[in-house]
């Protein structure tokens, strides 16, 4: 006799987890890959630009001027948008991202042709004049264009990975790590391509031309993908200020350029501990901005390290690519380690201890022996500073202060203070002349420039330690 059959239906088979292609769609996936590649190649080209400028016959002062102009354009374009962010439509913002990506690709082409554009077009601009044009175009791309994850800078709109089926809370939690890892991957890919370009070229000028030509090509692909991805905007075309799920979008920062009086009033409203934290972080950023444009010159000219791997021999300009690759690996490691460090280490101690590395990096770089292994270790170590980004006051807009709780005999109290956008904008403006100052000092001597930068950075770390010392 057969047993009675079970009348209950079989449980439904669980649907497989949708793949990344299914969640994004092929058009948006191509867009993200192109944006990551373009971002990395632009950053690598900017790191190599001083060596290219030197190969064209100009000195470090010109390098500093170009870098300061780029910072000025990237900061300034945030305040010259004729239509406010609240009223502009998603379609308009999409067009802005497309146009600025094209500007970035054109800026790279202008850099490649800077030595010969005068003769071809009969213009009064010299090579350095065309370099300035390229810097301005790339500054527009940095200020208005999409970043490596597809988010339109400073406008609360995204075209890519930061809006993949996530609610607002989840998006906030992963934004910093996602962007950091994407930037590290972009730098790593760009470093590999730069190594190939400079190792196969006879001169720095030829290697740089190959690098920026590749970057311009990827930028054009990203622009075409932006033109296809018409539904990737977080806000609708009516400009209602709501996200796809109907919730209100986060308020956008003011685009009014602050005055000195605004900055002074803002600083006066902050608690002393927050002022010390912001001052310390700003000094470390100032030291970094003074020296970052000249790191490639230290590697290529000051150390002049070469590398032989089997049958391949890399000249100093090509060796800089693997060093940036080591920095990218460190950056990815720092971003992955950040969630594990923050619950275990007090944020201010983590910030103060971690900022020692970028503070002493300039002097360590010029004092280190001319060894590829030692330089790679320094680059990887300074790349790990990404573990600090979520707790940096000028990045996360939230700082923690430590107060002594005498009743329990140990530090437990924590207070939070917001760093207003006015102060963050003032800091970005204050950093604009730093590369030019670094160029003037580098013209005197690399040791002089990098020693002063290290001194400024260590003063910043000292400011960060003040509330810790006072609360102990």
Read off φ and ψ for residue 306, nearest 5 degrees: -115, 165
Spatial distance between the Cα atoms of 70 and 67, rounded to a whole number of angstroms: 5
The average pLDDT across 92-119 equals 89
The residue behind tokens 């962010």 is: 85
Decide: residue 76, CB within 10 A, 0-12 exposed, 13-18 middle, 19+ buried: middle
Q: Decide: 286 and 467 in contact? Cβ < 8 Å.
A: no
Q: What does the domain layout of the chain look like in residue ranges?
A: 22-246, 260-472
Spatial distance between the Cα atoms of 419 and 424, rounded to a whole number of angstroms: 7
- Please name the residues in contact with 18: beta carbons below 8 A apart, sequence gap of 6 or more: none
What pLDDT shows up at residue 12?
A: 52
pLDDT tens-place string over residues 152-172: 554 433 444 433 333 444 454
The average pLDDT across 46-54 equals 95
Could you say which of 3.40.630, 3.40.50, 1.20.1250, 1.20.120 is the CATH number of the domain covering 22-246?
1.20.1250
Does 22-246 match 260-472 in CATH topology?
Answer: yes
Q: Decide: 449 and 441 in contact? Cβ < 8 Å.
A: yes
Out of 198-202, 373-377, 408-412, pick the least confident.
408-412
Q: What is the mean pLDDT of the chain?
A: 78
| Topology of domain 260-472, CATH | Growth Hormone; Chain: A; (1.20.1250)
The average pLDDT across 329-343 equals 85
- Whole-angstrom CA distances from 230 to 67, 227, 264 are 34, 7, 43
> Sorting pLDDT into bands at 50, 70 and 90, what band is 468?
low
What pLDDT shows up at residue 244?
A: 44
The average pLDDT across 320-329 equals 95
The alpha carbons of the chain give a radius of gyration, in whole angstroms, of 24
- Please name the residues in contact with 242: beta carbons below 8 A apart, sequence gap of 6 or more: 235, 236, 248, 249
Q: Decide: 71 and 435 in contact? Cβ < 8 Å.
A: yes
Most confident among 152-156, 191-195, 310-314 (mean pLDDT):
191-195
> Sorting pLDDT into bands at 50, 70 and 90, what band is 280?
confident
H or E stretch covering 175: helix 168-200
Q: Is 201 left (phi over 0), alpha (psi -120 to 50) or beta?
A: beta
């Amino acid at each position: 006799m057969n047993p009675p059959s079970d009348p209950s239906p079989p449980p439904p088979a669980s649907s497989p987890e949708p793949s990344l292609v299914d969640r994004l769609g092929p058009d948006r996936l191509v867009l993200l890959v192109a944006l990551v590649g373009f971002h990395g190649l632009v950053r690598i080209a900017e790191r190599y630009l001083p060596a290219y400028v030197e190969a064209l016959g100009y000195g470090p002062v010109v390098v500093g001027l170009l870098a300061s102009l780029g910072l000025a354009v990237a900061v300034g374009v945030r305040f010259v948008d004729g239509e406010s962010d609240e009223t502009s439509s998603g379609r308009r913002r999409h067009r802005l991202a497309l146009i600025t990506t094209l500007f970035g690709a054109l800026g790279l082409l202008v850099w490649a042709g800077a030595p010969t554009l005068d003769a071809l077009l009969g213009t009064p601009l010299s090579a350095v004049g065309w370099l300035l044009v390229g810097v301005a175009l790339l500054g527009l791309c940095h200020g208005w264009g999409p970043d490596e994850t597809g988010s339109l800078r400073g406008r609360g709109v995204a075209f890519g990975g930061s809006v993949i089926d996530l609610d607002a809370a989840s998006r906030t939690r992963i934004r910093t790590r996602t962007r950091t890892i994407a930037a590290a991957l972009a730098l790593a890919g760009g470093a590999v391509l730069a190594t190939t370009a400079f190792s196969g070229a006879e001169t720095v000028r030829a290697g740089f031309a190959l690098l920026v030509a590749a970057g311009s090509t990827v930028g054009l692909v990203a622009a075409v993908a932006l033109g296809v991805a018409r539904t990737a905007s977080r806000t609708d075309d009516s400009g209602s200020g709501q996200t796809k799920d109907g919730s209100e979008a986060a308020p956008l920062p003011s685009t009014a350029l602050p005055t000195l009086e605004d900055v002074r009033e803002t600083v006066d409203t902050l608690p002393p501990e927050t002022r010390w934290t912001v001052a310390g972080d700003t000094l470390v950023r100032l030291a970094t901005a003074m020296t970052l444009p000249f790191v490639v010159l230290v590697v290529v000219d000051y150390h002049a390290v070469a590398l032989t791997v089997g049958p391949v021999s890399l000249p100093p300009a090509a060796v800089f690519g693997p060093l940036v690759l080591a920095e990218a690996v460190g950056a990815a490691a720092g971003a992955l380690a950040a969630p594990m460090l923050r619950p275990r280490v007090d944020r201010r101690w983590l910030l103060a201890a971690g900022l020692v590395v970028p503070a002493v990096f300039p002097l360590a770089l010029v004092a280190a022996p001319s060894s590829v292994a030692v330089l790679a270790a320094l680059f990887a170590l300074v790349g790990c500073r990404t573990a600090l980004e979520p707790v940096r006051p000028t990045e996360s807009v939230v700082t923690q202060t430590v107060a002594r709780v005498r009743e329990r005999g140990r530090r437990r109290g924590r207070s939070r203070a917001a760093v207003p956008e006015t102060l963050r904008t003032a800091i970005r403006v204050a950093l604009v002349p730093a590369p030019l100052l670094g160029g003037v000092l580098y013209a005197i001597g690399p040791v002089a420039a990098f020693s002063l930068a290290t001194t400024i950075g260590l003063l910043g770390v000292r400011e960060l330690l003040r509330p810790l010392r006072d609360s102990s």
